[in-house]
Protein backbone atom coordinates (compact mmCIF):
# COMPACT_ATOMS: atom_id res chain seq x y z
CA UNK A 1 0.00 0.00 0.00
CA UNK A 2 2.27 2.77 -1.27
CA UNK A 3 -0.24 5.36 -2.51
CA UNK A 4 -1.49 7.81 0.16
CA UNK A 5 -5.02 7.84 -1.22
CA UNK A 6 -5.30 4.11 -0.50
CA UNK A 7 -4.57 4.58 3.21
CA UNK A 8 -7.73 4.95 5.28
CA UNK A 9 -6.45 3.65 8.63
CA UNK A 10 -3.05 3.79 10.34
CA UNK A 11 -2.41 1.29 13.16
CA UNK A 12 0.71 2.37 15.09
CA UNK A 13 2.87 -0.04 17.09
CA UNK A 14 5.38 1.77 19.28
CA UNK A 15 6.96 -1.20 21.07
CA UNK A 16 9.81 -3.26 19.67
CA UNK A 17 9.41 -6.40 21.79
CA UNK A 18 6.55 -8.80 21.24
CA UNK A 19 3.61 -8.11 23.54
CA UNK A 20 -0.08 -8.95 23.60
CA UNK A 21 -0.88 -5.63 21.93
CA UNK A 22 1.67 -6.23 19.18
CA UNK A 23 0.32 -9.74 18.65
CA UNK A 24 -3.17 -8.25 18.24
CA UNK A 25 -1.93 -5.91 15.50
CA UNK A 26 -0.07 -8.72 13.75
CA UNK A 27 -3.05 -11.07 13.59
CA UNK A 28 -5.73 -8.48 12.78
CA UNK A 29 -4.11 -6.39 10.07
CA UNK A 30 -3.96 -9.10 7.34
CA UNK A 31 -7.67 -9.78 7.84
CA UNK A 32 -8.64 -6.10 7.96
CA UNK A 33 -6.52 -5.33 4.88
CA UNK A 34 -9.06 -7.32 2.85
CA UNK A 35 -11.82 -4.98 4.07
CA UNK A 36 -10.30 -1.48 4.18
CA UNK A 37 -7.12 0.41 3.30
CA UNK A 38 -5.11 -0.12 6.47
CA UNK A 39 -1.39 0.10 7.19
CA UNK A 40 0.85 -0.29 10.22
CA UNK A 41 3.62 2.03 11.33
CA UNK A 42 6.35 1.71 13.95
CA UNK A 43 8.95 -0.89 14.96
CA UNK A 44 8.77 -4.55 15.95
CA UNK A 45 6.40 -5.80 13.25
CA UNK A 46 6.96 -8.64 10.76
CA UNK A 47 7.87 -7.79 7.19
CA UNK A 48 4.70 -9.24 5.66
CA UNK A 49 2.35 -6.55 7.01
CA UNK A 50 1.44 -3.38 5.09
CA UNK A 51 3.72 -0.76 6.65
CA UNK A 52 4.86 2.84 6.28
CA UNK A 53 7.56 4.70 8.25
CA UNK A 54 6.44 6.83 11.19
CA UNK A 55 7.66 9.97 9.43
CA UNK A 56 5.40 9.21 6.48
CA UNK A 57 2.42 8.42 8.72
CA UNK A 58 2.87 11.83 10.34
CA UNK A 59 2.98 13.67 7.02
CA UNK A 60 0.28 12.03 4.90
CA UNK A 61 -1.59 14.54 2.71
CA UNK A 62 -4.45 16.50 4.27
CA UNK A 63 -6.78 15.71 1.38
CA UNK A 64 -8.90 13.23 3.36
CA UNK A 65 -9.74 11.99 6.85
CA UNK A 66 -8.01 8.87 8.13
CA UNK A 67 -8.25 6.87 11.36
CA UNK A 68 -5.34 6.69 13.83
CA UNK A 69 -5.99 3.51 15.83
CA UNK A 70 -3.98 3.56 19.07
CA UNK A 71 -3.73 0.74 21.60
CA UNK A 72 -1.21 2.30 24.03
CA UNK A 73 -0.85 5.65 25.81
CA UNK A 74 2.21 6.51 23.72
CA UNK A 75 0.24 5.90 20.55
CA UNK A 76 -2.66 8.07 21.75
CA UNK A 77 -0.19 10.85 22.56
CA UNK A 78 1.51 10.58 19.17
CA UNK A 79 -1.84 10.69 17.42
CA UNK A 80 -2.65 13.95 19.20
CA UNK A 81 0.70 15.42 18.18
CA UNK A 82 0.19 14.43 14.57
CA UNK A 83 -3.32 15.88 14.49
CA UNK A 84 -2.83 19.05 16.51
CA UNK A 85 0.76 20.08 15.86
CA UNK A 86 1.25 18.69 12.37
CA UNK A 87 -2.41 19.36 11.50
CA UNK A 88 -3.01 16.00 9.79
CA UNK A 89 -6.62 14.92 9.31
CA UNK A 90 -6.85 11.95 11.67
CA UNK A 91 -9.85 10.65 13.59
CA UNK A 92 -8.49 9.26 16.85
CA UNK A 93 -9.52 5.79 18.06
CA UNK A 94 -8.29 3.97 21.17
CA UNK A 95 -8.73 0.32 22.11
CA UNK A 96 -8.50 -0.48 25.84
CA UNK A 97 -8.13 -3.90 27.44
CA UNK A 98 -7.26 -2.56 30.92
CA UNK A 99 -9.53 -3.61 33.78
CA UNK A 100 -8.43 -1.01 36.32
CA UNK A 101 -8.86 2.67 37.03
CA UNK A 102 -6.80 4.80 34.65
CA UNK A 103 -4.32 7.47 35.73
CA UNK A 104 -5.13 11.12 35.30
CA UNK A 105 -2.98 11.46 32.18
CA UNK A 106 -4.54 8.38 30.58
CA UNK A 107 -8.02 9.72 31.36
CA UNK A 108 -7.09 12.99 29.67
CA UNK A 109 -5.80 11.14 26.59
CA UNK A 110 -8.99 9.07 26.46
CA UNK A 111 -11.11 12.22 26.53
CA UNK A 112 -9.32 13.45 23.39
CA UNK A 113 -10.30 10.40 21.35
CA UNK A 114 -13.09 10.49 18.78
CA UNK A 115 -14.16 6.92 19.59
CA UNK A 116 -13.27 4.06 21.93
CA UNK A 117 -13.22 0.28 21.72
CA UNK A 118 -13.09 -1.96 24.81
CA UNK A 119 -12.12 -5.62 24.58
CA UNK A 120 -14.61 -6.67 27.28
CA UNK A 121 -17.59 -5.21 29.15
CA UNK A 122 -15.44 -4.90 32.28
CA UNK A 123 -12.77 -2.92 30.40
CA UNK A 124 -15.50 -0.64 29.07
CA UNK A 125 -16.70 0.10 32.61
CA UNK A 126 -13.38 1.79 33.44
CA UNK A 127 -13.37 4.17 30.48
CA UNK A 128 -15.98 6.62 31.84
CA UNK A 129 -17.14 7.21 28.24
CA UNK A 130 -19.28 5.19 25.84
CA UNK A 131 -17.27 2.49 24.06
CA UNK A 132 -17.81 -0.18 21.44
CA UNK A 133 -17.30 -3.56 23.13
CA UNK A 134 -15.53 -5.88 20.67
CA UNK A 135 -14.18 -9.16 22.01
CA UNK A 136 -10.97 -10.58 20.60
CA UNK A 137 -11.15 -13.45 18.15
CA UNK A 138 -8.73 -16.07 16.89
CA UNK A 139 -7.79 -17.36 13.47
CA UNK A 140 -9.50 -20.74 13.44
CA UNK A 141 -7.59 -21.78 10.31
CA UNK A 142 -4.32 -21.51 12.27
CA UNK A 143 -5.66 -22.74 15.61
CA UNK A 144 -7.40 -26.04 14.95
CA UNK A 145 -7.29 -29.63 16.21
CA UNK A 146 -4.41 -31.74 14.86
CA UNK A 147 -4.99 -34.49 12.34
CA UNK A 148 -2.94 -36.93 14.46
CA UNK A 149 -2.23 -35.86 18.05
CA UNK A 150 0.05 -38.81 18.82
CA UNK A 151 2.30 -38.13 15.83
CA UNK A 152 2.35 -34.42 16.64
CA UNK A 153 3.40 -35.12 20.22
CA UNK A 154 6.17 -37.43 19.09
CA UNK A 155 7.50 -34.71 16.79
CA UNK A 156 7.52 -32.25 19.71
CA UNK A 157 9.24 -34.61 22.12
CA UNK A 158 6.10 -35.09 24.22
CA UNK A 159 4.73 -38.36 25.57
CA UNK A 160 2.03 -39.58 23.15
CA UNK A 161 0.20 -41.42 25.94
CA UNK A 162 0.27 -38.70 28.61
CA UNK A 163 -2.55 -36.39 29.68
CA UNK A 164 -0.84 -33.09 28.92
CA UNK A 165 -1.78 -29.85 30.65
CA UNK A 166 -0.49 -26.57 29.25
CA UNK A 167 -0.07 -22.99 30.43
CA UNK A 168 1.32 -20.52 27.87
CA UNK A 169 2.48 -16.92 28.13
CA UNK A 170 5.07 -15.01 30.12
CA UNK A 171 6.15 -16.97 33.18
CA UNK A 172 5.58 -14.78 36.24
CA UNK A 173 3.56 -14.59 39.45
CA UNK A 174 0.85 -12.41 37.90
CA UNK A 175 0.01 -15.34 35.62
CA UNK A 176 -0.50 -17.66 38.61
CA UNK A 177 2.23 -20.04 37.49
CA UNK A 178 3.06 -20.92 41.10
CA UNK A 179 -0.57 -21.86 41.76
CA UNK A 180 -0.54 -24.28 38.84
CA UNK A 181 2.78 -25.80 39.96
CA UNK A 182 1.32 -26.24 43.46
CA UNK A 183 -1.70 -28.03 41.97
CA UNK A 184 0.53 -30.32 39.92
CA UNK A 185 2.71 -31.17 42.92
CA UNK A 186 -0.42 -32.21 44.80
CA UNK A 187 -2.18 -34.07 41.98
CA UNK A 188 0.57 -35.76 40.00
CA UNK A 189 1.58 -38.44 42.54
CA UNK A 190 -1.95 -39.87 42.17
CA UNK A 191 -2.12 -39.22 38.41
CA UNK A 192 1.00 -40.80 36.88
CA UNK A 193 -0.30 -40.13 33.37
CA UNK A 194 -0.37 -36.34 33.88
CA UNK A 195 2.27 -33.98 32.47
CA UNK A 196 2.47 -30.17 32.60
CA UNK A 197 4.25 -27.85 30.17
CA UNK A 198 4.82 -24.10 30.31
CA UNK A 199 5.87 -22.02 27.34
CA UNK A 200 6.84 -18.37 27.46
CA UNK A 201 9.65 -15.96 28.20
CA UNK A 202 11.15 -15.62 31.66
CA UNK A 203 12.32 -12.04 32.16
CA UNK A 204 15.36 -11.33 34.30
CA UNK A 205 13.27 -10.06 37.21
CA UNK A 206 11.36 -13.39 37.31
CA UNK A 207 14.34 -15.75 37.19
CA UNK A 208 14.47 -16.24 40.98
CA UNK A 209 10.72 -16.92 41.02
CA UNK A 210 11.04 -19.62 38.33
CA UNK A 211 14.20 -21.13 39.82
CA UNK A 212 12.43 -21.57 43.16
CA UNK A 213 9.58 -23.38 41.41
CA UNK A 214 12.02 -25.62 39.53
CA UNK A 215 13.75 -26.46 42.80
CA UNK A 216 10.47 -27.60 44.35
CA UNK A 217 9.67 -29.64 41.24
CA UNK A 218 13.10 -31.32 41.38
CA UNK A 219 12.67 -32.08 45.09
CA UNK A 220 9.37 -33.80 44.30
CA UNK A 221 11.01 -35.89 41.58
CA UNK A 222 8.71 -34.46 38.90
CA UNK A 223 11.15 -32.58 36.67
CA UNK A 224 10.46 -34.99 33.80
CA UNK A 225 6.70 -34.31 34.02
CA UNK A 226 6.60 -30.57 34.82
CA UNK A 227 8.65 -28.70 32.25
CA UNK A 228 9.39 -25.10 31.33
CA UNK A 229 10.02 -24.99 27.57
CA UNK A 230 10.92 -21.30 27.37
CA UNK A 231 10.01 -18.88 24.61
CA UNK A 232 9.17 -20.79 21.42
CA UNK A 233 8.71 -19.67 17.80
CA UNK A 234 5.08 -18.82 17.09
CA UNK A 235 4.42 -21.85 14.89
CA UNK A 236 5.75 -24.11 17.66
CA UNK A 237 3.45 -22.49 20.19
CA UNK A 238 0.48 -23.34 17.95
CA UNK A 239 1.68 -26.96 17.68
CA UNK A 240 1.95 -27.22 21.47
CA UNK A 241 -1.63 -25.96 21.87
CA UNK A 242 -2.73 -28.72 19.50
CA UNK A 243 -0.88 -31.33 21.57
CA UNK A 244 -2.74 -30.56 24.81
CA UNK A 245 -5.54 -32.32 26.65
CA UNK A 246 -6.26 -29.44 29.05
CA UNK A 247 -5.25 -25.78 29.19
CA UNK A 248 -5.03 -23.82 32.44
CA UNK A 249 -5.06 -20.01 32.70
CA UNK A 250 -4.56 -19.36 36.44
CA UNK A 251 -3.83 -15.62 36.21
CA UNK A 252 -4.24 -13.44 39.29
CA UNK A 253 -5.24 -10.54 37.03
CA UNK A 254 -5.44 -10.07 33.29
CA UNK A 255 -6.31 -7.40 30.72
CA UNK A 256 -8.12 -9.62 28.23
CA UNK A 257 -6.28 -12.91 27.99
CA UNK A 258 -6.35 -14.58 24.58
CA UNK A 259 -4.74 -17.91 25.47
CA UNK A 260 -7.98 -19.69 26.50
CA UNK A 261 -9.52 -18.87 23.11
CA UNK A 262 -6.46 -20.17 21.27
CA UNK A 263 -6.62 -23.40 23.25
CA UNK A 264 -10.37 -23.83 22.76
CA UNK A 265 -9.97 -23.28 19.01
CA UNK A 266 -7.68 -26.34 19.09
CA UNK A 267 -10.48 -28.34 20.82
CA UNK A 268 -8.84 -28.15 24.25
CA UNK A 269 -10.99 -27.50 27.36
CA UNK A 270 -9.87 -24.72 29.69
CA UNK A 271 -9.66 -24.11 33.42
CA UNK A 272 -9.46 -20.35 33.98
CA UNK A 273 -9.72 -17.86 36.79
CA UNK A 274 -12.47 -15.24 36.87
CA UNK A 275 -10.28 -12.38 35.65
CA UNK A 276 -9.95 -10.41 32.43
CA UNK A 277 -12.40 -11.62 29.82
CA UNK A 278 -12.12 -15.28 30.87
CA UNK A 279 -15.67 -15.34 32.27
CA UNK A 280 -16.94 -14.17 28.88
CA UNK A 281 -14.91 -16.74 26.95
CA UNK A 282 -15.23 -19.95 28.99
CA UNK A 283 -18.61 -21.60 29.50
CA UNK A 284 -18.68 -23.30 32.88
CA UNK A 285 -19.05 -27.06 32.59
CA UNK A 286 -19.45 -26.90 28.81
CA UNK A 287 -16.06 -25.74 27.50
CA UNK A 288 -14.15 -25.84 30.80
CA UNK A 289 -14.22 -24.50 34.35
CA UNK A 290 -14.00 -21.09 36.02
CA UNK A 291 -12.51 -20.63 39.48
CA UNK A 292 -11.89 -17.62 41.74
CA UNK A 293 -8.56 -15.87 41.26
CA UNK A 294 -5.73 -16.78 43.65
CA UNK A 295 -7.72 -19.68 45.12
CA UNK A 296 -5.41 -22.69 45.33
CA UNK A 297 -8.01 -25.22 46.50
CA UNK A 298 -10.54 -24.32 43.81
CA UNK A 299 -7.92 -24.45 41.05
CA UNK A 300 -6.60 -27.83 42.20
CA UNK A 301 -10.11 -29.28 42.49
CA UNK A 302 -11.08 -28.11 38.99
CA UNK A 303 -7.96 -29.64 37.42
CA UNK A 304 -8.54 -32.88 39.33
CA UNK A 305 -12.07 -33.09 37.91
CA UNK A 306 -10.83 -32.90 34.32
CA UNK A 307 -7.93 -35.28 34.92
CA UNK A 308 -10.33 -37.88 36.28
CA UNK A 309 -12.75 -37.82 33.35
CA UNK A 310 -11.32 -38.38 29.87
CA UNK A 311 -14.77 -38.56 28.29
CA UNK A 312 -15.72 -35.17 29.73
CA UNK A 313 -12.44 -33.66 28.47
CA UNK A 314 -13.09 -34.86 24.95
CA UNK A 315 -16.69 -33.61 24.93
CA UNK A 316 -15.68 -30.22 26.34
CA UNK A 317 -12.92 -29.92 23.76
CA UNK A 318 -15.37 -30.44 20.90
CA UNK A 319 -17.79 -27.96 22.48
CA UNK A 320 -14.95 -25.45 22.91
CA UNK A 321 -14.01 -25.57 19.23
CA UNK A 322 -17.66 -25.17 18.23
CA UNK A 323 -18.05 -22.22 20.62
CA UNK A 324 -15.04 -20.39 19.17
CA UNK A 325 -16.18 -20.97 15.60
CA UNK A 326 -19.61 -19.55 16.41
CA UNK A 327 -18.61 -16.61 18.60
CA UNK A 328 -14.93 -15.70 18.45
CA UNK A 329 -13.59 -15.88 14.91
CA UNK A 330 -10.99 -13.26 14.00
CA UNK A 331 -13.06 -12.35 10.94
CA UNK A 332 -15.92 -11.20 13.17
CA UNK A 333 -13.56 -9.16 15.34
CA UNK A 334 -11.95 -7.56 12.28
CA UNK A 335 -15.31 -6.77 10.71
CA UNK A 336 -16.63 -5.14 13.90
CA UNK A 337 -13.54 -2.92 14.15
CA UNK A 338 -13.77 -1.97 10.49
CA UNK A 339 -17.38 -0.91 11.11
CA UNK A 340 -16.04 1.54 13.72
CA UNK A 341 -13.48 2.82 11.21
CA UNK A 342 -16.16 3.41 8.60
CA UNK A 343 -18.39 5.25 11.09
CA UNK A 344 -15.50 7.58 11.94
CA UNK A 345 -14.75 8.18 8.26
CA UNK A 346 -18.38 8.72 7.23
* Whole-angstrom distance, CA of residue 56 vs CA of residue 41: 9
pLDDT surpasses 80 at 19: no
Which of 293, 344, 286 is closest to 318 using CA atoms? 286
Q: Give CB contacts under 8 A, 24+ apart, made by 124-129.
A: 124/96, 126/96, 126/98, 126/99, 126/100, 126/101, 126/102, 127/96, 127/102
pLDDT surpasses 70 at 246: yes
Region(s) of the chain under CATH 3.40.50.2000: 4-137+329-345, 149-327
- Supply angle C-alpha 169, 172, 178, rounded to 5: 105
pLDDT surpasses 70 at 2: no
pLDDT surpasses 60 at 226: yes
Q: What is the CATH number of domain 4-137+329-345?
A: 3.40.50.2000
Q: Name 96's bridge partners.
A: 118
* Whole-angstrom distance, CA of residue 242 vs CA of residue 247: 10
CA 253 from centre of chain: 13
* Tens digits of residue pLDDT in 153-197: 999 999 999 999 999 988 999 999 999 999 999 999 999 999 999
The pLDDT value recorded for residue 254 is 83
Inter-residue contact 282 to 272 (CB < 8 Å): yes
The pLDDT value recorded for residue 18 is 65
Q: How confident is the model at residue 198 (pLDDT cuts 50, 70, 90)?
A: very high
The pLDDT value recorded for residue 222 is 97
CA distances from 266 to 99, 148, 222, 262, 298 (A): 27, 12, 27, 7, 25
* Whole-angstrom distance, CA of residue 109 vs CA of residue 326: 35
The pLDDT value recorded for residue 15 is 84
pTM of the model: 0.82
* Tens digits of residue pLDDT in 204-224: 999 999 999 999 999 999 999
Q: Indicate the CATH number of 149-327 among 3.40.50.2000, 3.40.50.970, 2.60.120.10, 3.30.420.40.
A: 3.40.50.2000
The pLDDT value recorded for residue 233 is 85
pLDDT surpasses 80 at 3: no
The pLDDT value recorded for residue 77 is 97
* Tens digits of residue pLDDT in 28-85: 999 999 999 999 999 988 888 999 999 999 999 999 999 999 999 999 999 999 999 9
CA distances from 108 to 100, 116, 233, 238, 255 (A): 16, 13, 38, 39, 20
- Count, residues in the chain: 346
Amino acid sequence: MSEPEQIEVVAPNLKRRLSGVTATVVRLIPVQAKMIGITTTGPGLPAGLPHIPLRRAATLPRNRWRVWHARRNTEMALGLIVRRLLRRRYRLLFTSAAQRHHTGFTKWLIRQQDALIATSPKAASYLERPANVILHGVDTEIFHPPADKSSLRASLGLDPDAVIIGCFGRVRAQKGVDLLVNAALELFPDHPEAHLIFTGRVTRDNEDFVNELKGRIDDAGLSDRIRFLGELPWEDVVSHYQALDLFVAPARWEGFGLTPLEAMACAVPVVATRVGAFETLVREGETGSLVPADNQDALTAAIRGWLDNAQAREAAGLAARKHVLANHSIEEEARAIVDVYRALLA
